[in-house]
Amino acid sequence: MGLVSVARIASRSARLTRTVVARGLQTTADTTSLHGRAPEDKSEPFTLTLHEDSFHAHRMDAPSLDVEVTKDMLIGLYRDMTTMRRMEMAADALYKAKLIRGFCHLAIGQEAVSVGIESAIAPEDKLITAYRCHPFAVLRGGSIKGVLAELLGRQAGMSNGKGGSMHMFTPTFFGGNGIVGAQVPVGAGIAFAQKYLSKGTTTFALYGDGASNQGQVFEAFNMAKLWDLPVIFVCENNKYGMGTSAERSSSNTEYFKRGDLIPGLQVNAMDIIAAHQAAKFARQWTLDGKGPLLLEFVTYRYGGHSMSDPGTTYRTRDEIQRMRSTQDPIKGLQKYLEDWGVTTEEELKRIDKQAKAEVDQAVAEAKASPEPELKDLWTDIYYKGTEPSYMRGREREEARSFLPTH
């Protein structure tokens, strides 16, 4: 065989290899399968198998496609995703009624990310994200009333009505951060503290496809890998950063491969089962002392970037409609529950009704809560006990002394 034909065969086999490598990630919400039957007992574990293209791994072996679940767990995932969507829809309506003002970024369509992660981690683990934060705030120990009241600027809000959409915290949830990318190094810092204090917990630091190009993200990656911090960087790739598509902003849209020496995993985050399995695997990875991991959760936001963006000028209505009708994480799980006989249509309707009632009640209670009093504008600014003796307002004349007056 001449050199030319050897080269031709080599180039053809390279092309074939490339074809296999380039096979797209599965982003359909309902391709997980059950072999056999689900057990009668709702707390008895059984095994599901994910679609073989649910994960793409880089510098690591992908997690098992077999996922252990129980009926109770699956129903819980459905309840949580449905309730989070209801809450975001309520926020949308309150905003449109002009009762919520200012910034407000909703995560409708991305529920499998927050609920999937929460279902796989321990209450003591830490999480930090950007401004699309309402579901995380509730799932990490807040409440629907606390989130909605915060959006409405009422005393019952998680920051006493003085923070707004991006400023919600719990002992294990570090916000809610409005500066794109800034939460990533903070997340690495939280992970450093976990390791330094030998806490045996892990930190999830989430950011978007748009944020992924920031220098500080790579600086955080470097330090996390250098010190093998127990941190999971989660790139929530919802395909857009404001009105700019991932392809227009990123020279490499395979975000899971951008951590240099940090291994990465791309995940179908429209399928809640895959999101759960990836988060569980990643948590264990960091707790085993293997250092940081980069998860790319491929997802989609249905609404605009924020309430001021209709969301239809940089993508087609068809695209949004297609995602809603064919890849919705809640509809996907609903199909699983029905197909596998986990629950009945009536029970699902009952859960939907309960979610609506819970959110309606939270809206009513949040609306009934009073606005903060003027005197409270001077409180909750500094960590308790570290307040200075006087504070300045917007103008010099607004300075206020907190020295004892006797």
Instruction: Tell me if 242 contacts ligand TPP by CB under 6 A.
Output: yes
Instruction: Tell me if 357 contacts ligand TPP by CB under 6 A.
Output: no
Contact by Cβ (8 Å): 63, 265: yes
Q: Which sign does the torsion angle of CA 240, 130, 25, 80 carry?
A: negative
The residue range among 42-50, 96-104, 231-239, 367-375 that interacts with Mg ion, by the rule CB under 5 A, is 231-239
The residue range among 7-15, 49-57, 237-245, 318-326 that interacts with ligand TPP, by the rule CB under 6 A, is 237-245
**Other residues' Cβ atoms within 10 Å of the Cβ of residue 242:** 14
Binding mask 175-214 for ligand TPP (x = CB under 6 A): ---xxx---------------------------xxxx---
**Other residues' Cβ atoms within 10 Å of the Cβ of residue 312:** 11
Q: Which of 135, 142, 241, 329 binds Mg ion (CB under 5 A)?
A: 241
Q: Which of helix, strand or coil describes residue 18?
A: helix
Instruction: Tell me if 305 contacts ligand TPP by CB under 6 A.
Output: yes
Q: Which of 146, 161, 241, 332 binds ligand TPP (CB under 6 A)?
A: 241
Instruction: Tell me if 89 contacts ligand TPP by CB under 6 A.
Output: no
> What are residue 56's phi and psi, to 5 degrees?
-125, 130
Q: Indicate which of ligand TPP, Mg ion, none lies near residue 167 (CB less than 5 to 8 Å, by partner kind).
A: none
Instruction: Tell me if 208 contacts Mg ion by CB under 5 A.
Output: yes
Site for ligand TPP in 129-148 (CB under 6 A): 132
Q: Any idea what DSSP says for residue 378?
A: G
Structure tokens at 308: 């001021």
**CB-nearer residue toward Mg ion: 310 or 385:** 310
Provide the minimum distance between the beta carbon of 154 and ligand TPP in the complex, in angstroms, as a whole number. 25
How far apart are alpha carbons 117 and 129 in whole angstroms?
12
Tell me which amino acid residue 360 is. Answer: D
Which distant-in-sequence residues (6+ apart) come within 8 Å of 34 by Cβ?
46, 48, 49, 336, 339, 340
Q: Which of 170, 216, 238, 277 binds Mg ion (CB under 5 A)?
A: 238
Provide the minimum distance between the beta carbon of 307 and ligand TPP in the complex, in angstroms, as a whole number. 13
In which residue are the tokens 């960091």 written? 286
Provide the minimum distance between the beta carbon of 132 and ligand TPP in the complex, in angstroms, as a whole number. 5
Integer angstrom CA distances of residue 89 from 107, 130, 163, 357, 360: 10, 19, 20, 13, 11
The residue range among 37-45, 234-242, 257-265, 336-344 that interacts with ligand TPP, by the rule CB under 6 A, is 234-242
Nearest CA among 366, 329, 274, 317 for reference residue 108: 329
Q: Indicate which of Mg ion, ligand TPP, none lies near residue 264 (CB less than 5 to 8 Å, by partner kind).
A: none
Structure tokens at 354: 């309960």
What are the residues binding ligand TPP (CB under 6 A)? 132, 178-180, 208-211, 238, 240-242, 305
